[in-house]
Amino acid sequence: MNAESKLLSLRQKIEDSGCQAVWSLDPGFDDLAKCISFKLKVLRKKLLAWSKNLSKLMGLLKNCNKVVDFLDLVEENRMLSVYEWNFRETVKHMGFPPKWIEWVQMVFSTASSAVLLNGVPGNSFKCRRGVRQGDPLSPLLFVLGAELLQRIINKAFHQGLLSKPIDESSGDGFPIIQYADDTLILLKASQKEVFYFKAILNMFAQSTGLKVNYNKSTLYPLNMPQDKVVLLSSILGCKIGSLPFTYLGLPLGTTRPRVVDFAPLVDRVERRLTSSSICLPQGGRLTLINSVLSSIPTYYMSSVQLPVTVIKAIDTARKNCLWRGNNHSSTRKSLAFWDRVCMPKEKGGLGVINLRVQNTALLLKHMVKFYNGADLPWVKLISQSYYDSKVPHLMMNKGSFWWRDITSLADIFRGIAKCEIRTGRTSLFWNDLWNDDFKCTSYPNLFAVTMYKSDSVKAMCSRPLEDSFALPLSDEAYSEFLHLQEGQFDFTIRDGGCLEFYLGLR
């Protein structure tokens, strides 16, 4: 096998300390690295903790927004890519075959590099550590190395050296939220535990070479006196930050994000309106709006509810693109109301995406995950902390601002989804769609005299039907009562999960 040769260039960032290496890989070797990484991609979900699964990015943000209300200490670690190559024992304990381990060792051991200076390559040298940017194998190996940190901290937790900052039940492990090298470690504000944690990081760095860059790490205190904050910061050797801060591109804090926190989003939309859009025809501008401008806020809208002011600012940029082509000196007026423009083409509109409707639709997906009991930490944490076999949509004022925004859409969700009865404890007898033959609108007179309008299906079916209504009944209500009594509403109580299963859109 021929040795892999690479060219290394330095890309200057804002500060000298932010210089970043960029590797130019041989195309043939790049294909080989993809073949080796294929097996790792298939097995990573089984091998890694939930917080290391890169496909769970949105779940990470939900978990952050949920647990941050309870934090005493948050530290963000940015680890340098100086991965030691003696990871054979680590991946061996994870169950990888010896042949695959030899391939990975060969990938690194046969590599050589050369530094580009003003476009001229220098003498080549052998690489002895590190994973390279641009190599498809690098991010997967990096995550495998970071998984070792999770296991070390879990062991320290089970030995009593560390304690959880929150009483959550998202697993037996210690709460770590990680996406690539952006890591949140949730700790109690205890001087003793911070000392233990610093020792764990040093041990991890010595074994893997993944050293924590404390110059880029930040301590985010919550409900702590300033003198204690300074003390813990000096122990860790990192700077002190304040909430909210940006994590994975979104503002993270204990309070609802302000309009100014969404300024980067508005700036990104406005920067895409280049002067070339003036030359586009009307149809081209419409394609630019739907394919580019309307897709930029999707990541934000999948996580949080955008303020009305932010949506208006984005709509202003889209209007300028459609009617004036970003020519601010143009006096051309809008040819139609924006609400009409956002209507489907079948109804006389132009089919421009309505951001408020799209924001609502994206947030409703979290309701589907919650009511279906998805295997996600934030689902388990919210369910067991606030509801515990109670009807969730009767307690909408629980939780953080993010969850309150989600539960404010409960009426919309329940109007378009049907639930399948499990225990009958979290579905409303009168107001939830749990039986095709039963609707409360079909029994208006009987519903008006019921004494338990918010009873669950289980509660209503566990008592005699006549005990649920205020007597005497009118002739109309009695007729509806007889019709209801003839109905068959039997359901089988199932074990496992306290929430009902929502089948989705009707």
What are 6-48's pLDDT values in tens digits?
Answer: 555 555 554 544 444 444 445 555 565 666 666 565 555 555 5
pLDDT category of residue 467 using cuts at 50, 70 and 90 = confident
Over residues 232-261, mean pLDDT: 84
What is the pLDDT, as a whole number, of residue 357? 93
Q: What pLDDT was estimated at residue 176? A: 78
Query: What value does the mean pLDDT take over residues 169-196?
Result: 76
State how far Cα 110 lies from the chain centre: 39
The number of residues making up the chain comes to 506
Of 26-40, 51-65, 342-356, the one with minimum mean pLDDT is: 51-65
- What is the pLDDT of the chain when averaged over all its residues? 74
Answer for the pair 300, 265: CB distance below 8 angstroms, yes or no: yes
User: CA 490 to CA 485: how far, in whole Å?
Assistant: 12
Q: Is the pLDDT of residue 501 over 70?
A: no
CB-based contact 236:75 (threshold 8 Å) = yes
Q: Is the pTM of this model over 0.85?
A: no
- For residue 165, pLDDT over 80 is answered with no
Q: Calculate mean pLDDT across residues 411-426.
A: 76
- Stretch among 112-116, 202-206, 227-231 having the lowest mean pLDDT: 112-116
Quick one: tokens of 318? Answer: 């889209």
**Residue 277 near residue 288, CB atoms below 8 Å:** yes
Q: In the numeric block, which tokens belong to residue 168?
A: 């959550």
What is the C-alpha to C-alpha distance for residues 379 and 497, in angstroms, rounded to an integer? 12
| Beta pairing partners, 24 | 7
Provide the residue type at 185 as one letter.
I
3-state helix, strand, coil in the chain (%, to 5): 50, 15, 40
Region 64-83 average pLDDT: 47
- Which residue carries 């139609």 as its tokens? 336
The answer to whether the CB of 245 falls within 8 A of the CB of 220 is: yes
The H or E element spanning position 353 is none
Q: How many angstroms from the chain centroid is the CA of residue 497?
A: 23
Q: Is 325 left (phi over 0), alpha (psi -120 to 50) or beta?
A: left
CB 111 within 8 A of CB 262: no
> Looking at residue 73, what is its pLDDT?
45
Give ∠ CA 468-470-472 in degrees, rounded to 5: 125
Is the per-residue pLDDT at 310 higher than 90?
yes
- How far apart CA 145 and CA 8 sit, in angstroms, is 23
pLDDT of residue 86 exceeding 60, the answer is: no
DSSP 383: I
- Read off the pLDDT of each residue in 280-305 and give the average, rounded to a whole number: 88
Q: What pLDDT shows up at residue 360?
A: 93
**Least confident among 4-13, 20-29, 339-348, 395-404:** 20-29
Label the pairing between strands 20-24 and 4-11. Answer: antiparallel
What are the tokens at 269? 């939309």
> What is d(CA 90, CA 82) in angstroms, rounded to the nearest whole number?
16
